[in-house]
Amino acid sequence: MEIFIAQLISGIALGSIYVLLVTGFNLMLLVAKIIQFAYPQIVVISMYTCWGVLQLTDNKFLVILAGITVSIILSILSEPIFRKITSTQGVDINASFIASMGMAMIIMDVMSHSINYGFPVAFPPEWIGGNLLSFGLITVSKGQLYALMGGIIAVLIFFYLLYRTNQGRFFRAIAENRYAACLVGIPIIKTSIFSYFIVGVLGGITAILFSMLIGSASPWLGEFVALKMLAVSIVAGLGNLKGGLFCGLILGILEAMAMGYISGSWSNAIAFVVMLVIVLIKPQGLFGSRI
């Protein structure tokens, strides 16, 4: 039972990271009409930023600020590139996928060549926090608990913004029917740029929570997470925000359970087998695609 609770906590924490990633990805897909495959890389480089600032100062506020700022800047910097290649009709998957993949590779290369000699970075113990609970080999750290709470709060706030505020309604309007959004006078490009900003904020928050959860970062982490992000969003149904919320959480819990009861090294294989089966049965995703 203790194992179950410990794994459930880390599962929900991991799941909420997936939810944040998938939601940012879906928002880009729906509002900016691009496949932002480099989004997890932006998150990882924000983690690196947090790590870098942690070498200089203990001020957690500054660390958080730096992480979020870098994520916002990178996200907004990518906007002019994507605007050039997106068509006004629908999503040009080919062009934006290639562009964002290139962006992801560049970020990865920068990290593997220039930061910490390309070795993975480990976050200091005061960032992760000590162990709260431990049952034999299984422990729950303070960082995991922060990630859990932070993840749930971030997801709740973000979905509240999307579904209960005017700005969220404008995003959903553009996502659903660009022509109708244009007719009611929503400034499409301005709103789209704002979505890059919001996704940047979301990426920064994700980076902070993720670093607390796993306590390290490596140049290859982004690509690894990107594959899962893409898989979750396809399994849930591309562009389906509520579907992404559900499937992201389930994947996190599933992985944590596999790690606790079977073997850590098999958790990815199990997750992808389950997703493969789902996609075979429901090619449009569990909740239906929205693009």
Partner 1 sequence: MKKKNNILKIEHLSVTYGPIKAVKKVNLEVSQGEYVSLIGANGAGKTSLLKAILGIEKAEEGNILFLGEDISRKATDKIVSLGLCLIPEGHIIFSSMTVLENLQLGAYHNPSGFEENLQRVFTYFPILKKRSSQIAGTLSGGEQQMLSMGRALMSKPKLILVDEPSLGLAPKTVTEIFDILGELNREGYSILLAEQNAKKALESSHRCYVMKTGEVAITGFSSELIDDPQIRQAYLGGS
Total count of residues recorded for the chain? 291
Q: DSSP H helical segments within the chain, as ranges? A: 2-27, 39-56, 60-85, 93-114, 125-128, 142-164, 166-176, 178-183, 188-214, 221-236, 241-261, 267-281
Contact present, 244 and 228 (Cβ < 8 Å): no
CA distance 20 to 71: 14
The nearest distance, CB 241 to partner 1, in angstroms, is 11
What Cα–Cα distance (Å) separates residue 28 from each residue in 7, 23, 96, 131, 239?
31, 9, 11, 37, 9
The nearest distance, CB 25 to partner 1, in angstroms, is 20
CB-based contacts of 277, cutoff 8 Å, min separation 6: none
- Interface with partner 1 (CB under 8 A), residue total 18
Choose between 129 and 168: whose C-beta lies nearer to partner 1: 168
Binding mask 183-222 for partner 1 (x = CB under 8 A): xxxxxx-x--------------------------------
The nearest distance, CB 256 to partner 1, in angstroms, is 33
Choose between 113 and 190: whose C-beta lies nearer to partner 1: 190
Choose between 61 and 179: whose C-beta lies nearer to partner 1: 179
Residues between 161 and 190 that touch partner 1 (CB under 8 A): 166, 169-170, 172-173, 176-177, 179-188, 190
The nearest distance, CB 77 to partner 1, in angstroms, is 24
The nearest distance, CB 182 to partner 1, in angstroms, is 5
Q: For 268, what's the count of Cα atoms within 13 Å in the CB-facing half-sphere?
A: 6
Contacts with partner 1 by CB under 8 A lie at: 166, 169-170, 172-173, 176-177, 179-188, 190
